[in-house]
Structure 1
Amino acid sequence: MVNTVRTVLGDVPPEELGVCDAHDHLFFASPQLRGQELRDASAARAELAAFRAQGGTGVVQWTPYGLGRRAADLPPLARDTGVHVIAATGLHQAAHYTPELLTELRGKLAEVFVSELTAGIGTSGVRAGLIKVAGGFHALDAHARWTMTAAAEAHHATGAPIAVHLELGTGALDVLDLLCGELGVPPHRVVLGHLNRSPDFVVQREAAEAGAHLAFDGPSRAHHATDWRMPDALRALADAGFGHRLLLGGDTTTAAARSVDGGPGMPYLLRRVRPRLETALGKELVDRILTENPGRAFAAEWR
């Protein structure tokens, strides 16, 4: 079988992704972020167009089940802007959902994931191209273990990659112990998100040595060691032989963070982060991180 990336417009060869934002959101709505929902299709189109104007050609949307994905809106956005878009299935932390919805999903979560990966999300016909789940702060609670167990089952049924939100960048090794150790998911099918938020170079290297992909995603906040520590982290990992496992993303989760609303948004990754990393790491490595690596991380032998 041939590895392909499952976009909202169909499966494409990995190299077609081009310059890719490996973790972001066009649509996102959670009770944890009331009043900052990403729901406006026109704003999403403008954000994608701004990203395209900076040379971007691929975006991986990590918005999972029940958080306002607006899957039917994704294909026209991809066509209109010329940007490949990958949609997600999966389930975030319990705090993002009502207890009633979580109860409704008991006993059928893996089935939901598989259906969205193969038949499509709802009635949209748009097939998800990854499974997104989440850990907790330095630990995995019962909800994380439930969702990751379902994600592993769906991976084994479909071949889909699994992307993991690490809370403040922590718990990476616990996630790998569960997904890859107990549940048998190949490490190269796992993408660990937000490692920039916990600048523990030892943990980062151990995760890379295990075979996972490492995503450094989201611009700096005052309480996160992100942009200013990224060059050191990426250089250390590349020098250790793991340059092929590194990913970069923007992780725009609120309306105020969009570039069209005055925030950094998707273009920031290419407008500011890319040149800074090129100065520190060299253009060749940064080009590979933005182009070759996402195609490798999100491609699968779909079943």
Structure 2
Amino acid sequence: MRTVLGDVPPDALGVCDAHDHLFLRSPVLPGQELDDPVAADARLRAFHGLGGRTVVQWTPYGMGRRAALLAELSRTTGTHVVAATGLHQAVHYPAELLDGIRDGLADLFVSELTGGIGSTSVRAGLIKVAGAFHAVDAHARLTMTAAAEAHHRTGAPIAVHLELGTAALDVLELLCGTLGVPPHRVVLGHLGRSPDLPAQREAARSGAFLAFDGPSRTHHATDWRLPEELAALADDGFAGQLLLGGDTTVPETPGMPHLLRRLRPRLTEVLGADTVERILVANPARAFAFEAPAA
């Protein structure tokens, strides 16, 4: 896995929050920026104190990643942190920014995966892209095409924001069917926000990883439905593809400490300790590993 302090072997990751944010800015969340280093430090230390050892942060290009500070926080808290390249939905960016990078997206992603983010030596460890509501729109097609090229050149995993948990099968059809990304190199985020078990099963049958990430005031059904959703998927033989994340998007989100303090005991009661350990440790170690690029 490629962390902000360098590459580490997958078995060194320990308990992993597979989808979160330490820093995040967007014009659609005015006044709710995650931009406080002291708060980020506190969240990481709380997570570490509960046994957490790795946070995979999905904040992509142009949304306030603060790469140098990610490295400092990782070093001072003793917690592995993974940074992201990629692009979110178009609504999160000024039009002029998108116009300036549109023709060189794949090169941009590869540069941040292999060289560094901005002027830093901090390298990204995944490519984050996003679908639209029940669709893969033109912007998503553009960014996913670039992400697939960057994956083929670097072996980096691709993490996908599914809008309200929808369009998983459309995303897989594009990334894996058309663009040739192996399904096990794709992480589908927010699946729990659309509690459609048949669609979740079909996505799982592809071989992709399924990320269930919350809690969230807007998507609170993610929380109370989660144990039964995970149990159903585990019973169907997909326990090895499940991931959990806190997805801290605004300062009030309970996020990464809540994942271990409150959610882990609930899931252990339903799924058993061995399955929860697999979801928090073994699965993310495989999902976010780098593989040798295709020849």
Instruction: Identify the TM-score tier after normalising by the shorter chain.
Output: over 0.9
| Residue in 2 that maps onto 1:214 | 210
In the TM superposition, 1:141-220 aligns within 5 A as 141-220=137-216
Closer, same or farther: CA 157–222 of 1 in aligned 2, 3 Å: closer
Q: TM-score normalized by structure 1?
A: 0.95
For 2:240, the aligned partner's letter is H
In the TM superposition, 1:15-164 aligns within 5 A as 15-164=11-160
| Residue in 2 that maps onto 1:260 | none
- Tell me how far 1:83 sits from its aligned partner: 0.6
Structure 1 residues 137-161: Cα deviation after superposition (integer angstroms, max 9, x where no partner) = 0011100000000000000000000
User: Contact (CA 8 Å) 2:67, 2:117: kept in 1 or not?
Assistant: yes
Q: Give 3-state SS (helix, strand or coil) of 1:192's partner.
A: strand
Aligned residues: 293
CA–CA distance in structure 1, aligned partners of residues 274 and 62 of structure 2: 39
The one of 280, 283, 286 equivalent to 1:296 is: 286
- The reply to whether residue 276 of structure 1 matches residue 255 of structure 2 is no
CA–CA distance in structure 2, aligned partners of residues 44 and 244 of structure 1: 30
| Residue in 1 that maps onto 2:241 | 245
Range 86-95 or range 75-84, more displaced: 75-84
| Residue in 2 that maps onto 1:234 | 230
Structure 1 residues 38-85: Cα deviation after superposition (integer angstroms, max 9, x where no partner) = 111121111100111111000000000000000011111011111100
Q: Give 3-state SS (helix, strand or coil) of 2:224's partner.
A: coil
Closer, same or farther: CA 192–223 of 1 in aligned 2, 3 Å: closer
Q: TM-score normalized by structure 2?
A: 0.97
For the aligned residues, what is the CA RMSD? Answer: 1.0
Q: Give 3-state SS (helix, strand or coil) of 1:32's partner.
A: coil
> Structure 1: which 4+ aligned runs deviate by more than 6 Å?
none
- Tell me how far 1:220 sits from its aligned partner: 4.6
User: Contact (CA 8 Å) 2:23, 2:35: kept in 1 or not?
Assistant: yes
- Tell me how far 1:266 sits from its aligned partner: 1.4
- Tell me how far 1:221 sits from its aligned partner: 3.1
Q: Give 3-state SS (helix, strand or coil) of 2:134's partner.
A: coil
- Tell me how far 1:222 sits from its aligned partner: 5.8
| Residue in 2 that maps onto 1:265 | 255
For 2:195, the aligned partner's letter is P
CA–CA distance in structure 1, aligned partners of residues 147 and 167 of structure 2: 17
The one of 266, 275, 279 equivalent to 1:285 is: 275
- Tell me how far 1:223 sits from its aligned partner: 4.7
CA–CA distance in structure 2, aligned partners of residues 13 and 150 of structure 1: 27
For 2:136, the aligned partner's letter is L
- Tell me how far 1:192 sits from its aligned partner: 0.1
Q: Give 3-state SS (helix, strand or coil) of 2:187's partner.
A: strand
Q: Give 3-state SS (helix, strand or coil) of 1:255's partner.
A: coil
For 1:213, the aligned partner's letter is F
